[in-house]
Structure 1
Amino acid sequence: MITPEFCQMMARYNAWQNEQTRAAAEKLTEAELRADKGAFFGSIMKTLNHLLWGDLLWIARFDGGAGPDVGPDEGLEMTPTLAVWSAERFRTDGRIRQWADKVLNVDLTGDITWFSGAQNRDVTVPVAQAVVHFFNHQTHHRGQVHALLTAAGQTTGDTDLVFMPEDQKWL
């Protein structure tokens, strides 16, 4: 289904998009970042926090490192400011890239099992499916943030994978 090269490309894409998101979000006031805009998680900050929380949860499943210290509800407030979020986001994106740079074809085979607090049971899925979900989850929620930032008058730049600066061969 997927390859190490796919994981590396998507890890680069994730970091690129998060940097553009950060730059656009920095132009907003704290009140604008925290205002409930009727989105699924309410505000830009809560959505950014959910995205970070989810990334920490999934990368911990893949690399065996630490996951988030809080549950999904508390995860919406896991960073108190955009500056703290930005630092955590940078570290997490580096961790994701390190994992992707080391992943082998064999690592993407077989099943992965974890206890799902949301479902209150063990869940087992193919590793490749979990990795695709991981990257899709990022893109989905960043799309929500993109819409909120655009509605707030900000521009995040290109979001198409084919325009990723580190991957000019796509052009």
Structure 2
Amino acid sequence: MDARAHFLQLARYNVWATRRLLDAVANVSEADYRKDVGLFFKSIHGTLNHLLVGEHMLWYPRFARGVSPKVELNAEVEPDRDRLGQALKGGAANWLPLIEGWPAERFDGALNYTNMRGQVMSLPFAPTLAHVFNHGTHHRGQITAALTALGHASPELDLVYLLQEEASK
């Protein structure tokens, strides 16, 4: 599989998993949604905000425009849970056309940006992009564990289920 195809698959997975997770979270009471359940970003809400910050407000601009905005990783950038869900869905979908537009050689290059401490960074492009999708998977896993601990249904988010869905179409 070539790099573009691989990352397009990860981007499709990100859209699919984000939608499934948000569908499950929609059934959670406001109290459980905002409750500190011991996650790194405390609550389901805090963790979803972190996903918006990390994936869409930091990494997406770095990959799309070479800019590195200043925003705190634990910032509550969207207090409204419905708007937060829409922002996460829209942000996940934005990766697909971005990746589609990159030439094949881009994946073998470097990503240059300034980190949040003002340090100039140059990292290998493809592994850093893999980090973005892996990061989302990590935090979605935390949220599914929180859902289970709170007594709510947790969606199946394994990549293989997306692959099975795509194969059956």
TM over 0.5: yes
Aligned to 2:6: 6
Aligned to 1:70: 71
Kindly indicate whether the alpha-carbon contact (under 8 Å) linking 1:53 and 1:68 is maintained by their aligned counterparts in 2: no
Aligned to 2:142: 144
Aligned to 1:20: 20
Over residues 68-123 of structure 1, what are the superposed CA-to-partner deviations in whole Å (9 max), with x where a residue is unaligned? 6733232xx11112101111112101211221232331121211111111x44111
CA RMSD of aligned residues (A): 2.2
Kindly indicate whether the alpha-carbon contact (under 8 Å) linking 1:59 and 1:67 is maintained by their aligned counterparts in 2: no
Aligned to 1:44: 44
> Which runs of no fewer than 5 residues in structure 1 stay unpaired?
none
Compute the TM-score of the two structures, normalised by the length of structure 2: 0.88
For residues 85 and 65 of structure 1, what CA distance do their matches in structure 2 show? 24
| Secondary structure of residue in 1 paired with 2:105 | helix
Pairing partner for 1:160 from 149, 154, 158: 158
Kindly indicate whether the alpha-carbon contact (under 8 Å) linking 1:11 and 1:96 is maintained by their aligned counterparts in 2: yes
> Which runs of no fewer than 5 residues in structure 2 stay unpaired?
none
Kindly indicate whether the alpha-carbon contact (under 8 Å) linking 1:20 and 1:156 is maintained by their aligned counterparts in 2: no
Task: Quote the sequence identity (%).
Answer: 33
For residues 66 and 149 of structure 1, what CA distance do their matches in structure 2 show? 35
- How far residue 167 of structure 1 moved from its aligned partner, in angstroms, is 2.5
Kindly indicate whether the alpha-carbon contact (under 8 Å) linking 2:47 and 2:139 is maintained by their aligned counterparts in 1: yes
Compute the TM-score of the two structures, normalised by the length of structure 1: 0.87
Aligned to 1:61: 62
| Secondary structure of residue in 2 paired with 1:124 | strand
**CA gap 1:142/1:68 in 2 versus in 1, 3 angstroms:** farther
